[in-house]
Structure 1
Amino acid sequence: MSDGVEVWVPVLAAFCGLAGGVFTTLLSLRSERRKVRDELEFERTKFEEEIASQRAALKAEFGTEQSAEAAIRHFLDIYELPYRSFPMIRHYIGGFENNELRRLLVRAGAVRFMAQDGTELWALRDRVADHFKHGRWKHPEAPRNKVPDEDLFPGVFDKEGEY
């Protein structure tokens, strides 16, 4: 009988060791799984916050451009005469560099003409459809409000190369 007990003790000890090892492995896997899930949740939250901030920045940037285009469209549409000189547009629609303002003018639906004296003029396509359609890119006369830029906007042209 003692021989039977001696055989079962090592088998029972091996079984208990195996059960303990499996249980420990399961607990560590569960813990690792929870840890990975928490890390993924943290990364997802961080990613969503980053996307939200980039979306807000893009919305602000494009909102400014859309506002500028709407202002340009309104400015070119409110007076009886369809043409505006570029310096006048630059004065009333401030905050943009020359070429950036020209791009906004084009996106707003404006086209460029040149007056006989070389003044850059802009008008909405809808308001000058006949000139635009017939390819009259040279305006036959100087603008009626032709005043030197220095007199029209005093102090603006003091710094060389700014405009």
Structure 2
Amino acid sequence: MDPSLWTALSALLGAIVGGGISYLLNRQQLANQLRVQQETNKVEFMAETTARHFLEHKSFTDRSFETLRNHLGGFTDDELRRILVRAGAIRVYRADGSEWWRLLSRMEEFIERKQLDEIAREI
């Protein structure tokens, strides 16, 4: 074989091995950064997880702000609202003016339940 071909193949092999090592190291570094960020913001991260837990309950699509505030103490009302938005919730107001929250991902379920309730009332 031609010596220049060996040179090209060894350069290609070196680039592939170096690229693979860089990829693996970069991936590990990103995972470590994510862990550090979660640890740094652990209070907010856990509050968001807890809020999502309450809003994902199978029996309730909506939760009142008062209920969420009672279970997620230690935050001002505006901080709690930011946590709820980060958890994927939207705010709705009832006819009596009370503030309720529901996950945007459960909107279809809410609409279906509302339609079933209307049908049950008609019967």
TM-score (norm 1): 0.42
- Residues 92 and 79 of structure 1: CA distance in aligned 2, closer, same or farther (over 3 Å): farther
How far apart are 1:99 and its partner, in Å? Answer: 0.1
Counterpart in the other structure of 1:84: 63
In terms of fraction of residues, the more helix-rich structure is 2
* Contact in 1 for aligned 2:55/2:63 (Cα 8 Å): yes
Q: Deviations over 1:19-74 (max 9, x none)?
A: xxxxxxxxxxxxxxxxxxxxxxxxxxxxxxxxxxxxx7x65541111111001001
> What is the percent sequence identity of the aligned residues?
41
Aligned amino acid, residue 110 of structure 1: A
Equivalent residue of 2:54, what SS? helix
Equivalent residue of 1:127, what SS? helix
Any unmatched runs of 5+ in structure 1?
1-55, 133-163
Does residue 124 of structure 1 match 2:99?
no
Does residue 65 of structure 1 match 2:35?
no
Aligned amino acid, residue 70 of structure 1: T
- Residues 116 and 124 of structure 1: CA distance in aligned 2, closer, same or farther (over 3 Å): same
Task: Determine the C-alpha separation between the residues in 2 that align with 1:69 and 1:125.
Answer: 15
Equivalent residue of 2:59, what SS? coil
Equivalent residue of 1:113, what SS? strand
- Residues 63 and 80 of structure 1: CA distance in aligned 2, closer, same or farther (over 3 Å): same
Name the stretch that deviates more: 68-77 or 122-131. 122-131
Counterpart in the other structure of 1:146: none
Task: Determine the C-alpha separation between the residues in 1 that align with 2:93 and 2:40.
Answer: 31
**Of the two, which has the highest radius of gyration?**
1
Aligned amino acid, residue 99 of structure 1: D
Considering Cα pairs closer than 8 Å and 6+ residues apart, tell me whether 1 or 2 has the greater RCO.
2
How far apart are 1:81 and its partner, in Å? Answer: 1.9
Q: Deviations over 1:120-157 (max 9, x none)?
A: 0001111124779xxxxxxxxxxxxxxxxxxxxxxxxx
Q: Deviations over 1:50-109 (max 9, x none)?
A: xxxxxx7x6554111111100100111124121111011000111100000000000000
- Residues 61 and 98 of structure 1: CA distance in aligned 2, closer, same or farther (over 3 Å): farther
Measured on the aligned residues, the alpha-carbon RMSD in Å equals 2.1
